[in-house]
Amino acid sequence: MAITSESHKLLLDNLSTAVIQLNKSLQLVYLNPAAEMLFACGANRAIGQPLSVLFTEDNDTESAWRQAASAGHPFTKRETGVTLSNGEKKVVDYTVSPILTQDGYVLVVELQARDRLLRISREEELFAQQETLRTLVRGMAHEIKNPLGGIRGAAQLLERALPDDSLKDYTEVIISEADRLRNLVDRMLGPRKMPNIGALNIHEILEHVFALVRAETGGQIRLIRDYDPSLPDMTADREQLIQAVLNIVRNAMQSLQESQTQNACITFRTRAKRQFTLGAERHRLLCQVDIIDNGPGIPSELMETLFYPLVTGRASGTGLGLSIAQTILHQHHGLIECKSHPGKTVFRLLIPLEHKK
């Protein structure tokens, strides 16, 4: 028995919450427009079909659905992963409410997508982590650089007072190591000047990096362009964006080389994102830049701390490139995200196309 009351149907059709109805055989008899949008499936195609035409769950809960249809047991699932018929994955909350009719129980199911809220929460956490790290590094830099300056100065004075020139080798080691530590701290701090904002096109940045990496790899890594030519110009710091993109691409390049990946490939992809919420702020238009490689992937234990200074999964890595890139994106009110599994790693740069002072 499908929903027949016109007033009830009108009400459900205008809800922003996805609602579906199934009969006792778990066949779809109704979808409201919100459900059609959520599952990218029209009602005409879905009605009369099993639930799997809309989605399948990552965790097998078929017995719970059948028990609800046969015995009238309601149940709720929170933040469960589902795969749509087109292969897209989503995270949803849903509640199954059995309703007894003359033909047995029918199931009314309310579903809410959680992906957007989870992503916003994750991005806000990333912003907070990055700001905490910057404060920590600034404090550490102050505590390290002050005594380093004293050590370096004392070594220079000692060098002048030494009676034997052969002993100056030791003071030179002290001075050079003090300079090396100071440079390391400066790199951890990232860009120390405010962005030099000007009009530019993101494809100009990517083409510059593309040419540099092609020269460095000598054709050993295949480089692919997948650009959206409709992207408008942005206001940003050209040199800083080049550094951020180059750090990420070089990271991918070195990972491919060290792992000796067969048919190594890096893809440069751009897309526009409209009415997109980044952290707690909604942007009318964003530029999305994806740097994709087919390397071994990033170990899962590193994913949570990937953008921390001195964190690296490569033996020869410094662990500063990604931290600096994230700092640069934050100065442009943007963010870098990463998804990785063996065979595919995606670094996604999200940059607002409107500049905020």
- Chunked mean pLDDT (size 10), the chain, 357 residues: 63 82 89 87 86 82 84 87 83 89 87 74 68 71 76 84 79 83 70 72 93 87 93 89 91 89 93 77 86 90 73 57 83 87 92 71
For the chain, the residue count is 357
- Sequence-distant (6+) residues with CB within 8 A of 63 are none
Indicate the pTM of the whole model: 0.59
Gap between the Cα atoms of 196 and 185, Å rounded: 23
Instruction: Give bridge partners of residue 91 from the DSSP assignment.
Output: 81
Report whether 65 contacts 55 (CB < 8 A). Answer: no
Nearest alpha-carbon partner for 233 in 352, 332, 331: 352
Report whether 73 contacts 67 (CB < 8 A). Answer: yes
Alpha-carbon 115 to chain mean position: 13
Gap between the Cα atoms of 131 and 151, Å rounded: 30
Sort strands 222-226 and 265-278 into parallel, antiparallel or unpaired.
parallel
Gyration radius (Cα) of the chain, Å? 28
Report whether 130 contacts 149 (CB < 8 A). Answer: no
> pLDDT at position 130, please?
67
> pLDDT at position 26, please?
87
> pLDDT at position 192, please?
59
> pLDDT at position 311, please?
58
Q: Which structure tokens are listed for 178?
A: 């003090």
Gap between the Cα atoms of 145 and 147, Å rounded: 6
> pLDDT at position 310, please?
63
> pLDDT at position 85, please?
81
End-to-end CA distance of the chain: 58
Gap between the Cα atoms of 268 and 265, Å rounded: 10
**Side-chain half-sphere CA neighbours of 279 within 13 A:** 16
Gap between the Cα atoms of 106 and 1, Å rounded: 7
Report the 10 Å Cβ neighbour count for 319: 18
